[in-house]
Copies of this chain bind each other. A is one copy, B any other.
Amino acid sequence: MGGDYAPGVAVEGVAAALYDFPDYEIVLVGHAAKLAFYLEKYGIADHPHLKVQHAETVVEMRDPSSIALRAKRNSSMTVCARLLKEKQVEAIVSAGHTGAAVASTKVLVRTLPGVDRPMIATNMPAQGGRFILADGGANTDCEPHHLIQFAVMGSIYAEFLYGESSPRIGLLSVGGEDIKGNKLTKEAFPILEQLPLNFVGNVEADAIFERAADVLICDGFTGNVFLKCSEGLARSTIFWLKSVFTKNMLRKTSAMFSRNAFRELKSFGDAEELGGAPLLGINGICSIGHGSSSPKSIRNAIRVAADCIKFGLNEKIVESISQTHTTTRELAAAAAAAQP
């Protein structure tokens, strides 16, 4: 029920997923009466692999995140989280309120053993490839040991997504040198160096677009600024392209002949193929789509969520976190004590 074009877009995406993946069982969570129209429209009202779970309310974009747990306990987001908690579903997909998704899954579903905070793993475009931004916005204030856990989870997610056996982990900082950064990154750096990860050191925000790392670790505030800055600049580039290519007839003609080129350019930033970013560290799979998700995005987010289950993503995270857990805590405490 969340997202800019709900619930029509979600139902259309579910219809596509049911058609393309006959082995999936899908539960649509939302206002039953409002969903009925779209279920008819997309011809899945009586689909044997679809169940509708009624949810009375919706967490609106302007609501504070905590509302999902307090005033709106029957919101579609909270009901989803409850289904995941009760193991009635293995994964949830939402294009709604990110903060509410984080809050409700964190409190109701809880985190995986050894994980303190779930994080959003956002897949971003780079020159000739992609990289994962972690955390993309779930945790506005972080401690060093959170960044370490993001690195461990991000490494496994990159293994899943890119098929890399030893993904390169970079720490987002303001200078390539070890000595640069803020208090948080300076404390996290020496710990990251000692973990069994392919840690490549500090990575600046421009170098990552030239694929300086496969995973870029940062606190969720910085990560969200990075993400939104990229989105804003991409939209502005389209605005600027339009403004320069409509200036005179010759340019308009060139632009017309270059339509496919511009379409391809746009596709570099396209997030549709993955559909959403997973909230990693939750005891269940949780994928969060953009508020403006298309039906194709919803369908793909469902596919990626199913693939995460098949890959055993969470089992691998638990195993890896447990291997690094003691080291991480000890090193973080030592580093904090050593900080002047």
Contact between A245 and B233, CB atoms less than 8 A apart: no
Contact between B183 and A209, CB atoms less than 8 A apart: no
**Stretch in A16-24, A45-53, A236-244, A307-315 with 4+ CB within 8 Å of B:** A236-244
A265 to B174, CA, bound (A): 27
In the complex, the count of this chain's copies comes to 2
Contact between B234 and A233, CB atoms less than 8 A apart: yes
Asked if A255 is an interface residue, CB under 8 A from chain B, the answer is yes
Contact between A174 and B233, CB atoms less than 8 A apart: no
Q: How many residues of A contact B (CB 8 A)?
A: 63
Asked if A319 is an interface residue, CB under 8 A from chain B, the answer is no
Of the residues B137, B180, B236, B245, contact of A174 by C-beta under 8 Å:
B137
Asked if A222 is an interface residue, CB under 8 A from chain B, the answer is yes
Contact between A235 and B209, CB atoms less than 8 A apart: yes
On chain B, the residues within 8 Å of A87 by CB distance are none
What is the CB-to-nearest-CB distance from A228 to chain B, in angstroms, rounded to a whole number?
Answer: 4
| Residues 110-142 of A contacting B (Cβ, < 8 Å) | 125-127, 137, 140-141
Q: Is chain A's binding surface mostly helix, strand, loop or mixed? A: helix
Asked if A205 is an interface residue, CB under 8 A from chain B, the answer is yes
Nearest CB in chain B to that of A241: its residue: B265
Known: A207-B232, A230-B233. A225 touches B141 (CB 8 A): no
On chain B, the residues within 8 Å of A261 by CB distance are 244-245, 247, 251, 254
Of the residues B175, B180, B206, B219, contact of A232 by C-beta under 8 Å:
B206
A281 to B95, CA, bound (A): 44
Contact between B182 and A209, CB atoms less than 8 A apart: no
Asked if A71 is an interface residue, CB under 8 A from chain B, the answer is no
On chain B, the residues within 8 Å of A207 by CB distance are 232
Contact between B226 and A210, CB atoms less than 8 A apart: no
Contact between A209 and B221, CB atoms less than 8 A apart: no
A250 to B256, CA, bound (A): 11
| Residues 243-299 of A contacting B (Cβ, < 8 Å) | 244-245, 247, 250-251, 253-255, 257-258, 260-262, 264-265, 268
On chain B, the residues within 8 Å of A137 by CB distance are 174
Asked if A208 is an interface residue, CB under 8 A from chain B, the answer is yes
On chain B, the residues within 8 Å of A255 by CB distance are 254, 258
Nearest CB in chain B to that of A236: its residue: B209
Of the residues B62, B174, B236, B257, contact of A177 by C-beta under 8 Å:
B62
| Residues 194-226 of A contacting B (Cβ, < 8 Å) | 204-210, 218-222, 224-226
Top 4 nearest A-B pairs (CB, nearest first) are A206-B232, A205-B228, A209-B232, A140-B182
